[in-house]
Chain A
């Protein structure tokens, strides 16, 4: 245990906990080991995604010539970006009200409603949404999937933003309003930067759940809008080939490009 004297001598390390750094490194190893294996097997010459035979680029060639799988990957990306965008905007508004707006009637009910998509099992949402769209004659191609994805992305965007707002007092905003900034400017220049980490977290989670969603997508998808998870999960009957690993590796490359861009942009 640290004595107060030692403690003050190390003031520059305040808030640092021994072992947390090592733990984080181990965590990233845990996170990335399966990914390395995935990338490794994308270069497998054999037909199996799990038994190594020889080095080959044939599955990249196959994937490059497979229009269906490319279409599916493209659809997944577009749907994930659009749904995440809508969900985040909507979630920020809702989180500002439920964390900042004080007490009001119906708050618990509003909260419960926002949580609903998280709570209902996917297959039920899938079946319900499918019959609902069919009954209303909603047939907007990818629009159907974007609506369905936006719905279940909202709680994933909302909770981190709300967690960020919780316990954050409003003195800065109050100050801005006192200085005759209007509400919009106050939000844009004061609140928004303050809740940015919450927004990034929420957007990230939304994006992850959207790009990985299978059951709801499967049921709700209109003809011609197969997504990547639908394509991959449906392979069970004939087995997964390294082609899927190759496509996954390409997706990883895309994500790394995004990360690199945002990293460089953030440095400026």
Chain B
């Protein structure tokens, strides 16, 4: 049982520890995660980062000669007459991916929030059961799950066939290979990543708070806005990060349900490391994407910690 910051508990005496032992404790606990990621992820990524400044090897990989061609290629291209011009292709691909990821994240929130909240209000054993019930479908393979959506959505699929035989439609309604199908697939893939963090933060909701809230605010929706949403905020933020970022690079749903008539950034990077064999360019696109996302995350991290200081003051 916990108490929200808006109804502060009486101040308890702080345990005093020396700054040194704080420092040691802190970094000792951070060490495992930072070591695993730092050693097995950061180091290799730094190596790939340097690839972006090298020449491409025609057989995949890089040659150890400096070149800025990869970064130039991001926005410029050589015209047929040998002059250089602005090339919007890659910027467009990036923008499209971010847009689709953004919409998917919003949809996941709309779909997932009521579910997470409802789950959190159930008795304990039912709650855990529901969490696991969300997990079960994900024991099967993503590719196969997506195939099943094709069966449902295609012109000769479950929905169209039943609507036509019921006499509601005359001709099949095109659902597969549309942006709608991509979004449906992405939400299907990523919605648990929204629901579970929200569930984890809403679950600690104290009923007495709501009671007090009902007395004070009168309507359910005001209680939602004033009490529940602030409490769910860390979960919503965590969930949004877990949905948005993987969505940018997702390629199964765009390929299978969208028909890949438009490239996404994930497929573009994939292509550079495979048949296009332009690792430096793939690395450059990655670094740009990485910089974009990390800056957004860092701003969020600083902002949220800054706010806490203010509240504490």
Contact = CB atoms under 8 A, between A and B. Distances in A.
Interface of A: 1-4, 7-8, 11, 14-17, 19-21, 23-24, 27-28, 30-35, 37-38, 41, 49-50, 86, 89-91, 93-94, 96-98, 101-104, 107-108, 110-125, 127-129, 131-132, 147-148, 150-151, 154-156, 158-164, 166-169, 171-172, 174-175, 177-178, 194, 197-198, 200-202, 204-205, 207-208, 211-212, 214-215, 228-229, 232-233, 240, 244-245, 248, 251-252, 254-256, 258-259, 262-263, 266-267
B134 interface: yes
Contact of A125 (B14, B34, B45, B224): B45
A24 B118 contact: yes
Contacts of A248: 139-141, 144
Contacts of A114: 33-34, 37
B168 interface: no
Identify the interface centre among A97, A114, A167, A248: most chain B CB within 10 Å of its CB: A167
A175 B12 contact: yes
Contacts of B228: 15
A125 B289 CA distance: 14
Contacts of A21: 118
Interface in B28-64: 29-30, 32-34, 36-38, 40-45, 47-48
Contacts of B282: 123-124
A262 to B, nearest CB: 6
Nearest to A183: B25
Given A11-B211, A14-B210, A158-B33, A116 B42 contact: yes
A37 B218 CA distance: 46
Given A120-B290, A160-B196, A204-B135, 8 more contacts: A23-B114, A97-B26, A124-B286, A132-B43, A154-B33, A156-B242, A163-B238, A207-B135
Contacts of B25: 97, 101
Given A7-B218, A163-B201, A171-B9, A212 B290 contact: no
Given A2-B220, A115-B294, A50 B144 contact: no
A251 B139 contact: yes
B140 A35 contact: yes
Counting from the closest, the 7 A-B pairs by CB-CB distance are A128-B44, A34-B148, A166-B234, A201-B196, A132-B44, A159-B238, A255-B139
Chain A interface mostly helix, strand, loop or mixed?
A: helix
A159 B245 contact: no
Contacts of B148: 33-35, 37-38
A94 B200 contact: no
Contacts of A23: 114-115, 118
B283 interface: yes
A7 B45 contact: no
B297 A111 contact: yes
B196 A205 contact: yes
A169 B30 contact: no
Nearest to A157: B33
Contacts of B127: 197
Nearest to A256: B136
B177 interface: no
Interface stretch (B65-73, B76-84, B87-95, B266-274): B266-274
A221 to B, nearest CB: 15
B169 interface: no
A171 B115 CA distance: 30
Given A108-B298, A121-B289, A128-B44, A204 B192 contact: yes
A30 B198 CA distance: 19
A107 B143 contact: no
Contact of B196 (A19, A31, A111, A204): A204
A255 B136 contact: yes
B45 to A, nearest CB: 5
A115 to B, nearest CB: 5
A93 B273 contact: no
